[in-house]
Amino acid sequence: MIQHAVWLYARYLLSCAIDNEGEVLDFLVQLKKHAKAALKLIKKLLKKQGFAPTLITDKLKSYHKAFRILGLNTEHIDNKRANNRAENSHLPIRKQERKMQKFKSPGSAQKFLNIHSATYNIFYTQRHLITRTYFKECRSEAFGIWKSATTAACVLLLRFLRAYRKLM
């Protein structure tokens, strides 16, 4: 199940797609909230994530138009409080945005959100659903993944810098 939340964020709209387990699938920074923007978001999600039996959105009417244009016959739920999970997923992003004193452009917001959602998905576990020992295992595995990813990035950066110095 894919859930979407759209809210006004500074001057841009930030669309967030979340699956039924709370994992962030995608963020999209848009300028307007018309049918064209909703169509772009839904097409992008269907292309990346594939077909979903149920789509939960907020009450924005442009989603209905996008569904009609695409001819989707999936169940579309847009009632009150159905997308609370998606709405609450943006709280860490707001916190980071306050630290950064607003995003300077939609491009910088999109870059930050892509990286943030990837790291958030690695470290986020629903602690209330699992035991403490399993949570510790998941957390140590996440740190192992993080360590290997950052090590690989550092190695690539060092290789690039060495090659750059040879050219100079």
Kindly state whether residues 94 and 39 are assigned to the same domain: yes
Kindly state whether residues 111 and 131 are assigned to the same domain: no
- What does DSSP assign to residue 13? E
Kindly state whether residues 141 and 93 are assigned to the same domain: no
- What does DSSP assign to residue 100? T
Residue 47 identity: K
**8-39 pLDDT per residue, tens:** 344 566 676 777 666 677 777 777 777 787 88
Tokens of 24: 């962030």
Tell me the β-bridge partners of 24: 18
Given a contact cutoff of 8 angstroms between Cβ atoms, the answer to whether 47 and 58 are in contact is no
Kindly state whether residues 167 and 104 are assigned to the same domain: no
Give the model's pLDDT for residue 118. 75
Gap between the Cα atoms of 35 and 31, Å rounded? 12
Kindly state whether residues 108 and 25 are assigned to the same domain: yes
* Residue 139 structural domain: 127-168
Kindly state whether residues 100 and 17 are assigned to the same domain: yes
Number of domains in the chain: 2
165 HSE (CA, 13 A, CB side): 6
Write the CA distances from 45 to 8, 27, 28, integer angstroms. 20, 10, 10
**pLDDT at residue 1 is higher than 70:** no
Give the model's pLDDT for residue 78. 77
Given a contact cutoff of 8 angstroms between Cβ atoms, the answer to whether 83 and 60 are in contact is no
Kindly state whether residues 117 and 136 are assigned to the same domain: no
**pLDDT at residue 104 is higher than 70:** no
**pLDDT at residue 160 is higher than 80:** yes
Q: How is 14-37 classified by DSSP, letter by letter?
A: EEEEEETTS-EEEEEEES--SHHH
- Other beta carbons within 10 angstroms of residue 105's beta carbon come to 10
Write the secondary structure of 103-114 as one string of H (helix), E (strand) and C (coil).
Answer: CCCHHHHHHHHH
